[in-house]
């Protein structure tokens, strides 16, 4: 359906390129963590391929940060420090479908894959046989809304983790939380029919 729409509306499509930045309020779920949300930040670039005035595809490349804290049970489960702050740094690639019921409002939905390039170390004792407590890849679903003001957009999204990011499968760890951001359009390229 998306391919058919693209071919049919290619003459009136455009590609917007921009930057975005903001914060997030995430938590790491699982009995090994305290279940509280902590503030982090995110920043990146985006492209928006507009097929029609209402439908577009919005891929992004973002840096994001998730902060959590191990629970009182962490030491009893893994032998690591309880009450330890944990920082996870990701490169995220969300690919979102955008629907504009009115020009000022975009509704967004799509998958996101994140690659963990830095994490807090020293959480696990050598007896576990693992050096890192977290898996490298995180799959999430993202949905939210964006208020469009000419070249500026203000957005709010919810991110829900789909896979276990723990080094073990006995205790499931997933990321959940909200993201808020401001985006600025740098370029709008009109695509012409070949």
As a whole number, mean pLDDT of residues 93-104 equals 96
Please provide residue 74's backbone torsions phi and psi, each rounded to the nearest 5 degrees.
Answer: -60, -45
From residue 180, give the alpha-carbon distance in Å to each of 27, 50, 191: 15, 22, 30
Instruction: For 60-83, write each residue's pLDDT tens digit.
Output: 999 999 999 999 888 888 888 888
- pLDDT confidence of 5, banded at 50, 70, 90? very low
Look at residues 93, 107, 89 and name the one whose alpha carbon lies nearest to residue 139.
93
pTM, entire model = 0.85
Q: Average model confidence (pLDDT) for the chain?
A: 89
Tell me which of 18 and 189 has the higher pLDDT: 18
Residue 3 confidence (pLDDT) above 70: no
The token pair that represents 33 in the structure block: 């963590």
Q: Which residues of 101-139 are buried (b: 16+ CB within 10 A; e: fewer)?
A: eeeeebebebebebebeebbeebbeeeeeeeebbeeebe
**Dist CA 89 CA 47 (whole Å):** 22
């Amino acid at each position: 359906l998306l391919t058919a729409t693209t071919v049919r509306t290619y003459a009136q499509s455009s590609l917007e390129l921009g930057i975005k930045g903001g914060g997030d309020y995430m938590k790491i779920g699982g009995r090994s963590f305290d279940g509280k949300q902590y503030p982090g930040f995110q920043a990146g670039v985006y492209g928006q391929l507009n097929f029609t005035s209402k439908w577009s595809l919005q891929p992004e490349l973002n840096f994001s940060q998730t902060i959590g804290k191990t629970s009182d049970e962490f030491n009893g489960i893994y032998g690591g420090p309880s009450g330890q702050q944990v920082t996870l740094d990701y490169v995220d690639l969300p690919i979102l479908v955008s629907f504009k019921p009115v020009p000022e409002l975009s509704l967004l939905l799509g998958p996101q894959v994140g690659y963990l390039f830095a994490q807090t170390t020293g959480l696990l004792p050598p007896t576990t046989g693992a050096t890192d407590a977290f898996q490298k890849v995180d799959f999430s679903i993202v949905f939210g809304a964006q208020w469009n003001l000419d070249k500026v957009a203000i957005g709010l999204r919810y991110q829900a983790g789909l896979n276990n990011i723990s080094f073990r499968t006995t205790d499931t760890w997933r990321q959940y939380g909200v993201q808020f951001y401001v985006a600025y359009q740098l370029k709008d390229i009109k695509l012409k029919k070949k």
